[in-house]
Amino acid sequence: MNNFQGKTVVITGAGSGIGRALALQFGEAGARLALNDWNEATLRETIALVEQRGGIAWGHSFDVSQKEAVYRFAEDVAARFGQVDVVINNAGITLEQCMIERTGYPDFEKVIGINMWGVIYGSKAFLPYLKARPQAVLANVSSIFGVIGYPNQGPYVTAKFAVRGFTETLRIELAKSPVAVVCIHPGGIRTNIARNIQSDHPKRVEKFAQVFEKMAITSAEAAAAQILNGIRKKKKRIVIGPDARKIDWMARLFPSAYERWIFRKYDVEKFSI
């Protein structure tokens, strides 16, 4: 898809970070935007920013882990715009650093509900509308941690691996359809995801956020630009950032030994509870 002018683009998690940057850049490219975020205030801020730049944007605030809400959103988008051309399932969260054996089931359920089920619901709810178009794109945001395991982020890694498997399988199944399926693997992106962690240990979260921000070498704007460029070039897999590309190749070359690199870079016990 080379031209986004007049296309209807759906983006979840558009209240900040990559989602907001995507909304602004698609808006500047002439797309009509249907946006979601769980945070009503930040969603409205994104819509206002798009409109200030001359774009068209509308949205609903809801939790993407709620299937009925996602399906209502899909129906509302189709009714409002008459078509759906691009869907980017971007919404996601992470939690405080914790080893898997100490992580409670509610934490697993919360992260998997948003990061995995939100992608599944968003894909299945919008697929009938996407397949009705002569050309369409479904893009799901996994992570570089959908390529390698990473300590103290068990729920997040589990969900992102699931998104990768789901998306790659869907891509094969839809190979002869008008829908291009794309899996996105960001590396360290400068967003508020670490600072938005809900925790009873604010000092620990702040320390982790500082470490994360040092590792996050790619801006949300640069990440969004790579996604738009990847969609234009009909890429099936978009790996974002030099750190992610390095890790991706390391996992391919040393699939049973990449954890040695992790132990050199990261103290597993340091941020766990």
Q: Which residue in the list 121, 129, 150, 156 is annotated as catalytic?
A: 156
Model confidence at 170, pLDDT cuts 50, 70, 90, reads very high
The pLDDT tens digits of the residues spanning 172-185 come to 999 999 999 999 99
Residue 185 backbone phi and psi in degrees, to 5: -125, 85
Burial annotation 138-155 (CB, 10 A radius, 16+ → b, else e): bbbbbbbbbbbebbbbbb
Cα gap 175→234, rounded to integer Å: 13
Say which residues have a Cβ less than 8 Å from residue 222's Cβ, sequence separation at least 6: none
Q: Is 133 left (phi over 0), alpha (psi -120 to 50) or beta?
A: beta
Q: What is the dihedral angle through the alpha carbons of 61, 115, 17, 205, rounded to the nearest 10 degrees?
A: 110
Task: Please name each of the domains of the chain with its CATH number.
Answer: 8-265 (3.40.50.720)
Residue 98 CA: distances (Å) to CA of 113, 205, 263: 18, 11, 16
Q: What percent of the chain has pLDDT over 70?
A: 85
Tell me what the mean pLDDT of segment 191-215 comes to: 52
What would the pLDDT profile of 54-66 be if each residue is shown by its tens digit?
A: 999 999 999 999 9
Give pLDDT tens digits for 25-62.
999 999 999 999 999 999 999 999 999 999 999 999 99
129 is catalytic: no
Enter the pTM of the model.
Answer: 0.88
Q: pLDDT for 99-141, tens place per residue?
A: 999 999 999 999 999 999 999 999 999 999 999 999 999 999 9
